[in-house]
Chain A
């Protein structure tokens, strides 16, 4: 019955269990044992989109969202977006396709530029990197989106990849990308924006998939390990929920008087 009654100790035990699991996997990964991550189907779609842009002779636009790096829920999304960006940049460098990166946050601009430049250098094409293609548009949300829309209309990209935290502009961007005929890959953990990405882009990474995609693409051991720790928490949640529910049902059928404690 203890599972069914809320109290602080139960929470603390769960908290510690999850924290220890995360820490354990991170330590283990630092020792070289990195867990295997599932390949997210969206990643194949990214390859396809870039390939299509090359065939059409059009540029690729890749954005990492409009959030900064500081906020505890949206910051990690920006980081995931930048991880995907580094992969996109690598692919674009390999096939010598122009990559344009629209940026909203001044503090993120140098990082985005660095990520792309590094990818080009790694591909041995450092001289093809154009700093002016990492464009700072506007700090204002709709200033950013209207400039981004302008960019889409002018450049008519073959692929438009948007992974990160987006708000109301999600649909404006996705709709315009659709209109100019770009193949679009999107992804965000902003739940309220997912429906718009789902309906107007070709492939949408849902919620936490963007973190997995980021960790998978950069192959950063602590990030992957931390995913494994979170997965431990998930399994814990499911087992507790299922067992609890079965117990509740069994007790009800048996007409157990203890149930009044946990009545609806």
Chain B
């Protein structure tokens, strides 16, 4: 039994059915398939939502091990575990006992913990960029010089101190944005569309298995 369930064909089959169900009604006008597709789409959202505990559980698995083994820095893992559990429980949607997104602990941790932490975490890159710009942004050859000149032009384009001094900075930056940047990104957009279509074809042919790898084998 378990050998049959284990077969990779099952998830591949599920993927193909799920894909076709969404695509076909967009081009072929059969109301019943369209309604089914819409309902299944809503149903899938439930399956997505129920997966929500995977994050906390894997985190607890990884950090639980660290605590158990008393590995280096295990007390930081305790911190991780405590905040994961508190945040997960405080936000459970049981308004009857005062939990949920309006819960005081939940909103407090979000406003005064999550907000400053994540804003700062990503903001810290400003420093690394500055030091990298100083160290690595060199006009070594023609290509590097183009990146350098275009990059500096854009930096000036975004800073009012430059554009107020000489509006030309704005014009130059605008040109880089509208012409070479547009051309690059249009090609990238077209390429991404082609990539998505090719991925879909490989999936429908049952040969794209990247997302099914992983786990323990």
Contacts and interface: CB of A to CB of B under 8 A. Distances in A.
A–B contact at 8 Å CB threshold (below): yes
Interface of A: 8, 12, 15, 18-19, 22-23, 26, 68-70, 72-73, 75-76, 78-79, 106-108, 110-111, 139, 142, 168, 171-172, 174-175, 178, 191, 195-196, 198-200, 207-208, 211, 222, 226-227, 229-230, 233-234, 237
B180 interface: no
Given A69-B214, A72-B196, 8 more contacts: A19-B201, A26-B201, A172-B125, A174-B136, A199-B136, A200-B136, A208-B195, A234-B191
B182 to A, nearest CB: 13
**Candidate in B135, B136, B144 with the most chain A CB atoms within 10 angstroms:** B136
B151 A195 contact: yes
A168 B125 contact: yes
A65 B54 CA distance: 22
B121 A142 contact: yes
A69 B131 contact: no
Nearest to A30: B207
Contact of A199 (B147, B188, B213): B147
Chain A interface helix/strand/loop/mixed: helix
B135 A75 contact: no
| Chain B interface bracket (under 10, 10 to 19, 20 to 34, 35 or more) | 35 or more
A172 B144 contact: no
B215 interface: yes
A222 B207 contact: yes
Nearest to A12: B27
B195 A211 contact: yes
B121 A171 contact: no
B194 A110 contact: no
A195 B195 contact: no
Given A199-B147, A226-B201, A76 B188 contact: no
A142 B123 CA distance: 12
